[in-house]
Amino acid sequence: MGFFQKLARAVQRNESLLCVGLDPDPDRLPAGLPAGQAGARAVATFQRAIIEATSDLVCAYKPNLAFYEALGEPGLEALHATLAAVPDDVPVIGDAKRGDVGHTARAYARALFDGWGFDAVTVNPYLGGDSLAPFLEREDRGVFLLCRTSNPGARDLQDLPVVTGHGLPARPLFEVVAERAKEWNTRGNVGLVVGATYPEELGRLREICPQMTFLVPGVGAQGGDLEASLRRGLDAGGSGLIINVSRQVLYASQGEDFAAAARRVALALRDEIRRLREAVLSGRP
């Protein structure tokens, strides 16, 4: 079963467009972890508890490799333990944002898809089509291209006005990336990363790519607008979005009740997304 099919089933089963980002920061782990655990071992225990408390509420998990790599080899063991805790029917998006020349990209695709076993990954498009090919070839896996990211610096390059033809108005670079993504999507396994912090751009991208799935970070700690993201980002069928929230769920409580608190926040977010989605769909002409 391909990634997008697995995702669709999880969306339906859990009635959820919520993805929980597994970005563990050892400095923010709850005090309520079993006594004596620290560092990478505590991270693994923490993540397992979060997953057990939320796996019926999400459509996917998204571990960001940076946070595990920052802990060195024990961090990678923690990632192994984390992935082992995810139920088989919940897809996992490896947020790696890799991008390299062809034969190196092939090594990254092997590391991420075969080594870690991610159902999907995020990739950086700056190196162009041949750098993405080793990922795109894996048609059972999802490939999310960074398009319009959630951070303030996204403007620096992604908004640059690009000339696309004689007499045509210039278009921002991220729109051109979206057009390229459609061309590269010959196997139907391409998605885009679009920050919830820029709902207008999200709407523009939905016009360009009416049928593509967008992975949308930036809700929660980064201040993205959930209602506007759904209004502008949902596709014609009322789907096509994966709303990622990380810190707001992970660090819902610093006490012993951290897992229950994470569940409460995830449940509230899941239901808020459902409610807003229904309001958006019922308001459509």
Confirm or reject binding of residue 255 to a second copy (CB under 8 A).
Answer: no
Q: How far is the CB of 11 from a second copy (least distance, A)?
A: 25
Q: Does 85 bind a second copy (CB under 8 A)?
A: no
Distance CA 213, CA 269 (A): 19
Q: Nearer to a second copy by C-beta: 27 or 88?
A: 27
Q: How many residues bind a second copy (CB under 8 A)?
A: 55
73 binds a second copy (CB under 8 A): yes
For the window 88-127, what string marks contact with a second copy as x by the rule CB under 8 A?
---------xxxxxx-xx-xx-xx---x--------xxxx
CB of 163 to a second copy, least distance (A): 4
Residue 182 among the catalytic residues:
no
In the bound state with a second copy, the residue whose beta carbon lies nearer, of 58 and 154, is 154
Q: Does 67 bind a second copy (CB under 8 A)?
A: yes
Instruction: Calculate the alpha carbon distances from 118 to 34, 40, 100, 284 in Å.
Output: 29, 20, 19, 36
Q: Which of 6-14, 50-58, 151-159, 208-216 is the region at the interface with a second copy (rule: CB under 8 A)?
A: 151-159
Query: What tokens appear for 23 in the block?
Result: 């970005």
Task: Based on the shown chain and the rule CB under 8 A, indicate whether residue 167 belongs to the binding site for a second copy.
Answer: no
Question: For residue 279, which phi and psi values (nearest 5 degrees)?
Answer: -60, -45
Q: Each residue of 224-245: b (16+ CB within 10 Å) or e? A: bbbebbbbbbbeeeebbbbbbb
Query: Which of 11, 59, 120, 146 touches a second copy by CB under 8 A?
Result: 146
Angle (CA) 235-112-13 rounded to 5° is 40
Please check whether residue 32 is in contact with residue 256, taking contact to mean a CB–CB distance below 8 angstroms.
Answer: yes
Window 196 to 215, contacts with a second copy (CB under 8 A): none
Cα–Cα distance list, 243 to 159, 211, 233, 234, 278 (Å): 23, 16, 10, 11, 15
- Give the dihedral sign, CA 152/154/160/165: negative
To a second copy, the closest distance from the beta carbon of 108 in angstroms equals 5
Question: Smallest distance from the beta carbon of 189 to a second copy, in angstroms?
Answer: 18
> What is the CA 262 to chain-centroid distance, rounded?
18
Contact status: 149 vs a second copy (CB under 8 A): yes
Alpha-carbon span 218 to 261, nearest angstrom: 20
Asked if 81 interacts with a second copy (CB under 8 A), we say no
Tokens of 16: 């959820």
Answer yes or no whether residue 180 interacts with a second copy by CB under 8 A. Answer: yes
Q: Which of 193, 246, 240, 196 is nearest to 215 (CA)?
A: 193
Q: How, if at all, do strands 142-148 and 190-194 pair?
A: parallel
Active-site amino acid positions: 97
Site of interaction with a second copy (CB under 8 A): 23, 25, 64, 66-67, 69-70, 72-73, 76-77, 97-102, 104-105, 107-108, 110-111, 115, 124-132, 146, 149-158, 160-163, 170, 173, 176-177, 180, 217, 222
